[in-house]
Structures are given as structure tokens and as C-alpha cells.
Amino acid sequence: MQGILKLELIFFLISFICTCLYCMKVDFTRLRQLRKPFLLNKRGDTCSSNPCPDDKPFLCKSSEKTCLALSEVCDGTQQCPGGYDENPRLCNARNRPSVEDLEDFLYRNEDWMELKLFNGAPPEIVAHALAVSGDIDELDRIVGLDHESKQNLRDALMAIEEADERPLTDMGMPESEWYDVSYVFNKLLEGGFKY
Ligand SMILES: [Ca+2]
């Protein structure tokens, strides 16, 4: 009889503990759900640095808050106070491969390209300069080219326009990279980069 009572007591205790854990779990879940809006608000506060509405997401860099539609950026008419929407570097970057893509490209070809075309400058700096510069002289001011690398870059871009890979292979480009190199440099030329 005592054995049965003990078993019942153990069963009761196990049931009690399970029920408590279950309740705690429900409580924690509800607590998490209650905290969610708070967390979202907190996150929203820190991430919503752009106060512009969805249909005008471009925020002018100016003391007064002005928001523009993307079609108004680089359209030839200044709408931002100070004209940031027509900033030449911004508009160059808009028509070029992204800085991240350019950086990846430069790292892929670092072995032969970095020294020959960009005077050994770090890919991060060259990528940014290629994205924003209007021409080779502006790129030179940002990157710091020497006479030889500047001439090599001119020769390389001219060869790419003429679809002639030999000057580039002479500079050390592996033949297998020709498609990648001509594709990216052609994108820069189409994006208005002058040499
Ligand atoms: Ca504009």
C-alpha cells in the first residue's frame, strides 16, 4: 500500500514539474512576444537613419531634410539644396559597377593588375576611385599612379575598346581572365570613365 502511495506521489511530483515547466515555457514565449514590438522599435530607432518615404527614398545631404524620388537623382536638374543629387562623383558611381564588385574584381586579378595598372595601391582604394572618378586624372589624384602605371592603364583601356587582348597578356594577364577583365573595364567605359 505504501509502495502505491509512493508511486502516486512520484507521479504527482513529475506531473507537477512538467506542468510548471510547460507554464514557464508558455510564459517565456508570451514574454518574448510582448518584448518583440519593443525590440523592433528599438531596432527601428537605430536603423531608420533615412527618414524618407518609400516613393522618395533619396535623402539630400543638406541641413534641411529634402527627399527625392530616384528618378530625380542625376537627371540633370538640381533638386537638393546644394545640388547633392547632381554631384558628379555620385552620378558616376550610379552608372558603374558597385564598389564591392570592383573590389572583388581587383582581388581576383591582384597578382598582375595591382602593380601594373594601379601602382600597387590597395584594391579598396582603387575600387572606390574607379567607381567615382570621371577620368584617369581624377583616378590618379585619388590612387596616386606613377607615369608607367598610368600609361599602362591607358593602353589597357584602349586595348579593351579595340577588343585586343595582347597588350594585357603582355602585362601579365592570364588569357583565361580576358573575358572578366574586358567585361568590367567595358562597364567602366560605358559608365563614362575617360582615359
Ligand atoms: Ca536631380
- Specify whether the CB–CB gap between 127 and 103 falls below 8 A: yes
Instruction: Tell me how far the alpha carbon of residue 83 lies from the centroid of ligand 1, in angstroms.
Output: 8
C-alpha dist (Å) from residue 63 to 91, 121, 187:
21, 35, 35
Cβ neighbours, 10 Å, residue 175: 9
* Band of pLDDT at residue 49, cut at 50, 70 and 90: confident
According to the model, what pLDDT value does residue 55 have?
A: 96
CA of 32 to the centre of ligand 1 (A): 45
Task: Give per-residue pLDDT as tens, 78-97.
Answer: 999 999 999 999 999 999 99
> Ligand 1 centroid to 70 CA: how many Å?
9
User: What spacing in Å lies between the alpha carbon of 74 and ligand 1's midpoint?
Assistant: 5
pLDDT of residue 64: 82
Task: State the Cα–Cα distance between residues 67 and 80, nearest whole angstrom.
Answer: 8
Task: Let me know the angle formed at the C-alpha of 142 by 137 and 146, rounded to the nearest 5 degrees.
Answer: 65
| Residues 55-68, mean pLDDT to the nearest whole number | 92
How many angstroms is it from 71 CA to the middle of ligand 1? Answer: 8
Q: What are phi and psi of 171, to 5 degrees?
A: -80, -5
Distance 75 CA to ligand 1 centre (A): 5
Q: What number is the average pLDDT over the span 21-37?
A: 41
* CA 80 to centroid of ligand 1, rounded, Å: 7
Of the candidate ranges 7-11, 49-53, 56-60, the one whose mean pLDDT is the lowest: 7-11
- pLDDT tens profile 111-143: 999 999 999 999 999 999 999 999 999 999 999
CA 87–ligand 1 middle distance (angstroms): 9
Q: Report the predicted TM-score, pTM, of the whole model to 2 decimal places.
A: 0.71
**Which segment of 59-63, 75-79, 120-124 scores lowest on mean pLDDT?**
59-63
